[in-house]
Amino acid sequence: MDIARMAAIELDGIAERYGSDALLAAAATARGALRLVEGDARAAIRDLRSGRRAWQDVGAPYETARARLHMADALTAIGDRVSATMELDTALSAFRRLGARPDAERAASMLDELTSS
C-alpha cells in the first residue's frame, strides 16, 4: 500500500507540474482508487468523480469507463446501489462500443453481482 500511495503522490506532483488534463485525470483517478482500497469510500467518490469528469473532458472513453468501475465500487461501499448500477451500465455500454471485451465482461459480472444480491 505504501508503494501505491507514493506512486499516487508522485503522479499528483507530475500532473500539477505539467498541467496536462490527461495527467490530472489520471492522478485524480489513481488517488480515488487508492482511497477506496484504504477504506475511505466518500473521499474516493470525490476523487473518482473528478477523474471521470476530466477523462470525459479530454475525450478518453476507455479511461472514463475504467473510472466508472472504481466509482461503482465506491458507491457500493457506501450503500448507493442505484448510482453504482448506473455507473456500471454506462461503463458496460462504453466497453462494448470500444470492443474492450475483458473490461465489458468484468463490468457485466460486477453488474450481475450487484443486482442479484
Residue-wise pLDDT tens digits, 53-104: 999 999 999 999 999 999 999 999 999 999 999 999 999 999 999 999 999 9
Span between the terminal Cα atoms of the chain, in Å: 30
3-state SS class at 19: coil
Q: Which residue ranges make up each domain of the chain?
A: 2-116
Q: What is the mean pLDDT of residues 17-44?
A: 93
Asked if 28 and 48 touch (Cβ cutoff 8 Å), the reply is: yes
* CA 61-95-86 angle, 5° bins: 85
Q: Which three cell numbers stand for residue 105?
A: 465482461
Q: What is the mean pLDDT of the chain?
A: 93
pLDDT at 37 over 80: yes
Query: Which CATH code for domain 2-116?
Result: 1.25.40.10
Phi-psi region of 21 (alpha: psi -120 to 50; beta: other; left: phi over 0): alpha
Residue 85 and residue 110: Cα distance in Å, rounded?
A: 9
Residue 53 and residue 14: Cα distance in Å, rounded?
A: 19
pLDDT band of 3, cuts 50, 70, 90: confident
Asked if 40 and 28 touch (Cβ cutoff 8 Å), the reply is: no
pLDDT at 1 over 90: no
* Whole-number pLDDT of residue 40: 96
